[in-house]
Structure 1
Amino acid sequence: MNQMNSPLIRIGVFYDGNYFLKISDYYYFQHDRKARISLEGLHEFIRHQVAEEEDVDVRLSQIIDAHFFRGRLSATEARDKDRLFHDRLLDDILMNMGIQTHYMPLKTRDGRLQEKGIDVWLSLEALELAIHKSFDVVVLIAGDSDYAPLIKKLNTVGTRVMLLNWDFKYTDFKGENRVTRASQQLLDQSTYPVQMHDIIDQGLNSGDELIDAMFVNTPEPAAYPTVKPVRPTGPTAAGPVGTVGISTIKNLKNGFGFVVMPPNNLFFSYADMAEGDFNELREGDWVEFTVGRNHRDEDCARNVRKVEAPEMDENDEYDQHEHESADSPERL
């Protein structure tokens, strides 16, 4: 049968925003690709994948609706945590792609911000829109088993479900090991479960243009000359919380690093950047930072930003290897 004689396949895409941003961070900070996922490229991949599964020409595979659900800080909290610009930037990207945003306020429980109710809201909206707009295929970008009832309901009304899922290990901004893996319930109940981690790795290795286009093209960072660290002026201890310091980067690895500060180096992550791009940092770069405390009540570097190397004389030089921290990335 001529594929162009087939009816149009109407696609609705639904993002669990927190899940998607973890995926994008993984590829940006820890995967060899070192780039964020392009929403435009991802949507093009979805169209091709649905066309292949539905056995139609890709021109008949069209996304007619896309929705992004996420818990969100208030404007004041986002400003205080230096997240206001990043949230606005994400809004701009979603708006330019025509993706409708749905936000709920993050709740504080036991001193921690938690996202509650997003899965219920996404499920209700997805089911209602699937019926109202007659989606042939709902593409779900999520991994939590809480979405299993949604998939069952979509199956009941005759809507096929494509689940984009990832399976990988990563280290979060606290330096703790985490695993992202889709619920087996979702995989079993989905019409088209798509193992994105395998497809992406295989596509990148084979030079697949469709897979390569799923990532934001960023210029290769210029190689900065390394500068031999000099002894920081003042006391050798990091100082009380709020102290502003300047020193060099000793190590960088997978979105994390250490700033030279005897007697122990100060840990920081990409989330601690006050400005600039973490991936453009190089070992030996000079940075300004504020001393903070991490969840283990240990000294760490916050509000990190790259600065010009200060003027120094020969008497300031010292051997940074004398001050290696037991927590340096080589020993993790």
Structure 2
Amino acid sequence: MIFIDAGYFTNHWLENQSKKEKENFNFEEFSKYIGGRNAFPQLDTVRLIRTYYYDGLVDPRKTDQYNKQRLFHRYLNYSFSNYEVRTGLIVDQGTDIQKGVDSLLAIDMINKAYTNQFDVAILVAGDLDHLPVVRTVKDNGKEVYGAYYPESYSQDLINEFDAKFVLTPQISNLQLSNPWYDNYVKTQKN
């Protein structure tokens, strides 16, 4: 299973991409890439079950942003059979801050570990906040692999991962043709 901290992912990857690159980014291929031998050669016998994408919901009063985000979440949920979006909140405290997202990710990851839903978890995150959940999951006999950005990570968290993968610009090769996105967006706008 893959657990993606969307705030971390978007702040360090998608925010540095053009609109066209964002639209062409193939999330399913990204999951297959980091959930397979390309990123972690030791995963040759592990089956990717699901990718969980944890994000904070924009305040509905910010209509344009809220609608775009909801459209994007629907796109992830309905275009890929193995994607599931989980949401917390975004609170405006001068800058937008996610609330409850890391807790939701931690609860899900620990629950799924204790109920034996996976042997290996892949966490796309770099924040020190995730260190307790990684330790708890490992204490339950599971492995936790980490994918993170070289410019933003906690060394303590990275040291705790059983295997590591640095997310680099070379992953832009995953910006494959993604006609479903265009069709979905056009359909939803009409």
* TM value normalised by structure 2: 0.79
Across the two proteins, how many residue pairs are aligned to each other?
A: 174
| Correspondence for 2:21 | 35
1:21 and 2:3 are equivalent in the alignment: no
| Correspondence for 2:185 | none
| Correspondence for 1:64 | 49
CA 1:216/1:24 → structure 2, altered by over 3 Å: closer, same or farther?
A: farther
Q: Which runs of 5+ in 1 are unaligned?
A: 1-11, 169-180, 205-210, 220-332
1:80-137 per-residue CA deviation (whole Å, 9 max, x = no partner) reads xx2134213311321122322221222233x443212221221111110122143111
CA distance in 1, matches of 2:147, 2:158: 9
CA distance in 2, matches of 1:51, 1:112: 36
Q: Which runs of 5+ in 2 are unaligned?
A: 180-190
Q: 1:71-220 residue pairs with structure 2 within 5 A?
A: 71-77=56-62, 79=63, 82-95=64-77, 96-97=79-80, 98-109=82-93, 111-168=94-151, 181-197=152-168, 200-201=169-170, 212=173, 214-217=174-177
CA 1:166/1:50 → structure 2, altered by over 3 Å: closer, same or farther?
A: closer
CA distance in 1, matches of 2:153, 2:161: 12
CA 1:137/1:49 → structure 2, altered by over 3 Å: closer, same or farther?
A: farther
CA distance in 2, matches of 1:133, 1:217: 36
Structure with the greater relative contact order (CA < 8 A, sep ≥ 6): 1 or 2? 2
- Relative to its length, the structure with more helix (as a share) is 2
> Is the CA contact (8 Å cut-off) linking 1:68 and 1:99 kept in structure 2?
yes
- Relative to its length, the structure with more strand (as a share) is 1
CA distance in 2, matches of 1:124, 1:218: 32
- After superposition, the CA RMSD in angstroms is 2.5
1:22-55 per-residue CA deviation (whole Å, 9 max, x = no partner) reads 233245139xxx723421111121222466224x
SS in 2 for 1:15: strand
> Is the CA contact (8 Å cut-off) linking 1:107 and 1:115 kept in structure 2?
yes
SS in 2 for 1:68: strand
> Is the CA contact (8 Å cut-off) linking 1:145 and 1:186 kept in structure 2?
yes
SS in 1 for 2:126: coil
